[in-house]
Amino acid sequence: MIQIKGIAASQGISFAKAYFFNNPKLEVLEKKIVNTSEELLKLDSAIELSRRELKLIKEKTSEMIGNDKVNIFEAHLLILEDEEYIETVKTDIISKEINAEYALKETSDMFIHMFESMNNKYMKERASDIKDVSKRIIAHLLGVSLPNPSLINEKVIIVANDLTPSQVAQLNHKYIKGFVTNIGGKNSHSSIISRQLGIPAVVGTNNITSIIKNGDFLIVDGTAGIVEINPNNEILKKYKEKKEILKKEKENLYKLSLLKTETEDNKKIILSSNIGTLKDLQEVKKNGSEGIGLYRTEFLYMTKGELPTEEEQFNIYKQILLNMKNKSVVVRTLDIGGDKRVPYLGYPNEMNPFLGCRAIRLCLKEKNIFKTQLRALIRASIYGKLCIMFPMISTLTELREAKKIFEEQKIILKKQGYKIAENIEIGAMIEVPSAAILSDFFSKEVDFISIGTNDLIQYTMAADRMNENVSYLYQPYNPAVFRLIDFIIKSAHNENKWVGICGEMASDPIAIPILVGMGIDELSMTSTSILKVRKHIKKLKFSEMKNLSKKI
Ligand code: PEP
Ligand code: MG
């Protein structure tokens, strides 16, 4: 019976067995082999096991997130059939009289090196596919199993050193009841997605993987940031009661779902949702959201292993706009880089990925990717009330260049005969201090501003939002952060532009009175937070909050 404290990343309480999601170390040593035919049989059997496993993963992934997301596993299956690859391994086993895993590693390394050194992005992608496949076969040769959440078919809590945002996005709700990790911060994208999926999570525990054993019974309290390992009956009872109370509170909140959001003295605030996939629309409806304030489109690019086509994107944007009827939908153009990597684009690892080729910087380099997304968006614009915003804008030049590409695509599409809405709003995310300090200038050149506080805090405080060792410096309430937010709101209002916040601060009960007092127009958050925030705002007086924010 042990209790571990970490960072409360996603609210809720869950109980289940621990499932380790750590990649085992695959140590491959060269060995001389006398009986090479036995070694060849070993190889065949490892390939067959890998094939069966990949087919199963493909099936499960397709059930969970749709058929179009399984190309990556198809590519892996094809590698297993590749005669040149497999025959080279076999020839090496026979001619060099070496063990199968060593021969496989040598051959794979040779192909990986060959593909990596090609200038073509598609070919570079193949290198990472071969890495994955060879790892799977080697694991079977060594008799160890690789963890795979899509194969889990009982209720578990995942225990890992870390989980990437795309791994979290693919967790199956039905079986994955929570997760705990050694590293990570409250505002890492993995934590944000776990909140969106409603999966309780505790991150940043430092060393939980060395304390928990596979199969231990766990309680994850994502509200308090606590993990109980093999608790006794008394503790279990306490958490069951707490879970029941949280459930009742949630049911009571649903009564507010049809109401507008206003303070006691009638100042209206729009409460919108942050979404990452179409699936999130269910919670948007259930929680009486007044619009979509942030659609993080990058998950379209991260779960499939290749770029989404214009047509695929168009269909998704159209569905979201139709679903939201006349409520506004703010779509953020591709924001990858930082903790969201897209390996198939072939970008090298960076020393400081959060300060590197991220978001709009990447889109202005890879103009074809950017244009395809803008075309899909512009074509979908006739189905609802579309707003487009550009992430991580640092300079006016970037904003102007992005707007220019948008205008050019509009003209091209019109010439091609497409109908286009006349009122697409264009906004900038202000999440870099340089843009915040010049927000009076930015406000003149956009229709709206959305403040990305998650990044604005990390860049203002120079504290990586992913790093639990500097989480003490990641300070949403630092006066420097409030001063910047206040200036951005005033700047936008001076130009008669609306301004929202789509970072996690938008649902923070301590920050909300101050943001309301500063005159924020919209707060956008995980759908499941909306009713709680509505309840909170209804109890506030705008006049009093104005004074409070001045004081702050
Ligand atoms: C932000 O930075 O506040 C934001 C909403 O964007 P993301 O969290 O996706 O970086
Ligand atoms: Mg951001």
Given the structure tokens 């939980």, which residue do they identify? 208
| Catalytic member of 357, 363, 387, 502 | 502
In sequence order, what DSSP letters do the residues of 130-176 get, joined into one string? HHHHHHHHHHHHHT-----GGG--S-EEEEES---HHHHHT--TTTE
Neighbours of 311 (CB within 10 A): 11
Contacts of 350 (CB under 8 A, 6+ apart): 337, 356, 357
Q: Which of 118-122, 192-196, 469-473 has the highest average model confidence (pLDDT)? A: 469-473
Q: How many CA atoms lie within 13 A of 459 on its CB side?
A: 24
In sequence order, what DSSP letters do the residues of 428-460 get, joined into one string? EEE-SHHHHHTHHHHHHT-SEEEE-HHHHHHHH
Taking the C-alpha atoms of residue 149 and residue 177, their distance in angstroms, rounded to an integer, is: 12
Confidence at residue 342, expressed as pLDDT on a 0 to 100 scale: 85
Neighbours of 536 (CB within 10 A): 16
Among the ranges given (247-261, 316-330, 444-458), the one the predictor scored with the smallest mean pLDDT: 247-261
Q: Which residues line ligand 1 (CB under 6 A)?
A: 192, 294, 296, 335, 431, 452-455, 502-503
109: left (phi over 0), alpha (psi -120 to 50) or beta: alpha
76 as an active site residue: the answer is no
| Catalytic member of 76, 189, 363, 387 | 189
Residue 132, classed as helix, strand or coil, is: helix
Atom of ligand 1 nearest to the CA of 274: 5
The pLDDT-based confidence of 394 (bands split at 50, 70, 90) is: very high
pLDDT digits (tens, 9 = 90+) for 127-153: 878 888 898 899 999 988 777 777 788
Residue 332, classed as helix, strand or coil, is: strand
Neighbours of 321 (CB within 10 A): 24
Contacts of 93 (CB under 8 A, 6+ apart): 33, 36, 39, 40, 43, 99, 100, 103
Tell me which ligand sits closest to the C-alpha of residue 505: 1
pLDDT digits (tens, 9 = 90+) for 283-303: 999 999 999 999 999 989 987
Phi, psi of 98 (to 5 degrees): -120, 165
The pLDDT-based confidence of 466 (bands split at 50, 70, 90) is: confident
The pLDDT-based confidence of 534 (bands split at 50, 70, 90) is: very high
What is the mean predicted confidence (pLDDT) over 524-545?
A: 96
Amino acid at 138: I
Separation of CA 431 and ligand 2 centre (Å): 6
173 as an active site residue: the answer is no
pLDDT digits (tens, 9 = 90+) for 172-221: 888 999 999 998 888 888 888 888 888 999 999 999 999 999 889 999 99
List the one residue out of 163, 157, 210 whose CA is nearest residue 185. 163
pLDDT at residue 119 above 80? Answer: no
Q: Which among 336, 361, 431 is the best mutation to test ligand 1's pocket, defined by most ligand atoms within 8 Å of the CB?
A: 431
CB 331 within 8 A of CB 386: yes
pLDDT digits (tens, 9 = 90+) for 4-41: 999 999 999 999 999 988 777 888 999 999 899 999 99
More confident residue, 400 or 78: 400
Confidence at residue 70, expressed as pLDDT on a 0 to 100 scale: 66
Confidence at residue 65, expressed as pLDDT on a 0 to 100 scale: 56
pLDDT digits (tens, 9 = 90+) for 333-392: 999 988 888 878 878 888 899 999 999 999 999 999 999 999 999 999 999 999 999 999
Confidence at residue 467, expressed as pLDDT on a 0 to 100 scale: 85
Separation of CA 304 and ligand 2 centre (Å): 22
pLDDT at residue 66 above 90? Answer: no
CB 386 within 8 A of CB 426: no
Confidence at residue 197, expressed as pLDDT on a 0 to 100 scale: 84
The terminus-to-terminus CA distance of the chain in angstroms comes to 44
Neighbours of 432 (CB within 10 A): 21
Taking the C-alpha atoms of residue 314 and residue 380, their distance in angstroms, rounded to an integer, is: 6
Amino acid at 456: L
Query: Mean pLDDT over all residues of the chain?
Result: 92
In sequence order, what DSSP letters do the residues of 397-422 get, joined into one string? HHHHHHHHHHHHHHHHHHHTT----T
Tell me which ligand sits closest to the C-alpha of residue 188: 1
Residue nearest to atom 4 of ligand 1 (CA): 452
Confidence at residue 345, expressed as pLDDT on a 0 to 100 scale: 84
Residue nearest to atom 1 of ligand 1 (CA): 452
Confidence at residue 67, expressed as pLDDT on a 0 to 100 scale: 58
Taking the C-alpha atoms of residue 195 and residue 64, their distance in angstroms, rounded to an integer, is: 19
Taking the C-alpha atoms of residue 274 and residue 289, their distance in angstroms, rounded to an integer, is: 10
Separation of CA 502 and ligand 1 centre (Å): 7
Residue 396, classed as helix, strand or coil, is: helix
Edge-to-edge strand list for the sheet holding 217-221: 2-5, 226-229, 217-221, 13-20, 156-160, 176-181, 201-203, 7-10
Confidence at residue 172, expressed as pLDDT on a 0 to 100 scale: 83
CB 216 within 8 A of CB 229: yes
The pLDDT-based confidence of 243 (bands split at 50, 70, 90) is: very high
Separation of CA 501 and ligand 2 centre (Å): 11
Taking the C-alpha atoms of residue 131 and residue 117, their distance in angstroms, rounded to an integer, is: 15
Taking the C-alpha atoms of residue 327 and residue 319, their distance in angstroms, rounded to an integer, is: 13
CB 270 within 8 A of CB 521: yes
Confidence at residue 516, expressed as pLDDT on a 0 to 100 scale: 98
Dihedral angle computed from the Cα positions of residues 375, 360, 196 and 171, in that order, rounded to the nearest 10 degrees: 90
Taking the C-alpha atoms of residue 455 and residue 471, their distance in angstroms, rounded to an integer, is: 13
Given the structure tokens 């949403």, which residue do they identify? 476
What is the mean predicted confidence (pLDDT) over 304-323?
A: 93
Give the helix/strand (H/E) hosting 158: strand 156-160
Atom of ligand 1 nearest to the CA of 453: 3
List the one residue out of 528, 535, 532 whose CA is nearest residue 192. 528
Separation of CA 32 and ligand 1 centre (Å): 53
Atom of ligand 1 nearest to the CA of 503: 3
How much of the chain, in percent, has pLDDT values that exceed 90? 73
pLDDT at residue 315 above 70? Answer: yes
Label the pairing between strands 13-20 and 217-221: antiparallel
pLDDT at residue 68 above 80? Answer: no
According to DSSP, residue 21 is labeled -
